[in-house]
Every structure is written in structure tokens, then in C-alpha cells.
């Protein structure tokens, strides 16, 4: 297998447009693997290029490295994602991205009154009391307390 692992860390970094330290970080998280040659230098299989491409694409979609790791772990034999795998993963992650966008749009629209206000009132500011959930019983501070104490 070492014969197939013929890419050095500098080559991989250059081809993927990432720093060597990023590769070390990905490896420390278990996202990529390397082998060591007789001189104890890292050597990568060619498939690492695809893995890194998937990691970078996922990050651009707002997916955390922990989520990427969990997704990789579900692939049979922890294989490098195939084209079909990527199609499925990207569709799944796109749903999450759509949900985040919808949430942020809703938040932005609800903050019109906050722009230039500065009150940060726990009673009436939508940052603390989104959708005025406790507006009827006037207990916005209770909502904040519940959200921070679990």
C-alpha cells in the first residue's frame, strides 16, 4: 500500500490549495490518513485529493468538520466519498443550508426595530424574545433563562 501512497504533504497541500498545517489538522481529526515512509515522512494515497475536495466543499456549505467526520464514518469501510456519495451528502447538507438561510432571513426581517435602537430589552427586543413567544404573559426574561439553562 505504501507504493500507492506516493504524494508528499507539500504536493497534496499545493494541489488542494490548503496549508500543510491544515492537512495535519485534518489528519488529527481523522478526516484523512497518511502512511509513513522509511524516513518517517507522511505519504498520501491519491484518493486524499478527493477527500479534501469534499471537506472543502462541505465547509463552503457551512458544514462543520465534525459533521463531515460523522458523514465519512457512515460510508462503507470509511471509503473516500464517490460521486454518488457526494451527491447524497451535498443534497443532505443543502437542506441544512436552506434551513440556516431561512432562519437568518427571518431573523434579519425581525430585527428591523433593533437597527440603531440599542435597548436590548429582554421584554421587547426580538433578539431575546423571537416571535414574541412569551408576549402574552410578559415573561421574556424567563425565556432567556430557559434557553441558557437547558
**Contact residues for ligand FES (CB under 6 A)?**
113-114, 117-121, 124-125, 127
CB of 116 to ligand FES, least distance (A): 9
Nearer to ligand FES, 81 or 140 (CB): 140
**Rounded CA separation 24/32 (Å):** 9
Nearer to ligand FES, 49 or 143 (CB): 143
CB of 108 to ligand FES, least distance (A): 13
CB of 114 to ligand FES, least distance (A): 3
CB of 140 to ligand FES, least distance (A): 11
Nearer to ligand FES, 8 or 130 (CB): 130
Nearer to ligand FES, 2 or 104 (CB): 104
Residue-wise DSSP of the chain: -TTT--EEHHHHHHHHT--HHHHHHHHHTTSS--EE-TT--EEE-TTHHHHHHHHHHHHHTT--HHHHHHHHHHSGGGPPP-HHHHHHHHHHHHHHHHHHHHHHHHHHHHTGGGTTT----TTT-TTTSGGGTTTTTT-HHHHHHHHHH-
**Rounded CA separation 23/12 (Å):** 8
Nearer to ligand FES, 8 or 126 (CB): 126
CB of 133 to ligand FES, least distance (A): 15
Amino acid at each position: 500500500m505504501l507504493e500507492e501512497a506516493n504524494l508528499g504533504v507539500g504536493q497534496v497541500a499545493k494541489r488542494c490549495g490548503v496549508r500543510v498545517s491544515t492537512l495535519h489538522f485534518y489528519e488529527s481529526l481523522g478526516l484523512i490518513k497518511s502512511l509513513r515512509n522509511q524516513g518517517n515522512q507522511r505519504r498520501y494515497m491519491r484518493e486524499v485529493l478527493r477527500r479534501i475536495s469534499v471537506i472543502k466543499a462541505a465547509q463552503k456549505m457551512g458544514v462543520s468538520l465534525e459533521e463531515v467526520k460523522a458523514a465519512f464514518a457512515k460510508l462503507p469501510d470509511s471509503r473516500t466519498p464517490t460521486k454518488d456519495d457526494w451527491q447524497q451528502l451535498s443534497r443532505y447538507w443543502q437542506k441544512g443550508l436552506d434551513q440556516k438561510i431561512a432562519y437568518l432571513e427571518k431573523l434579519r426581517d425581525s430585527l428591523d426595530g433593533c437597527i440603531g435602537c440599542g435597548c436590548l430589552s429582554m421584554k421587547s427586543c426580538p433578539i431575546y424574545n423571537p416571535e414574541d413567544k412569551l408576549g402574552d404573559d410578559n415573561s421574556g426574561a424567563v425565556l432567556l433563562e430557559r434557553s441558557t439553562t437547558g
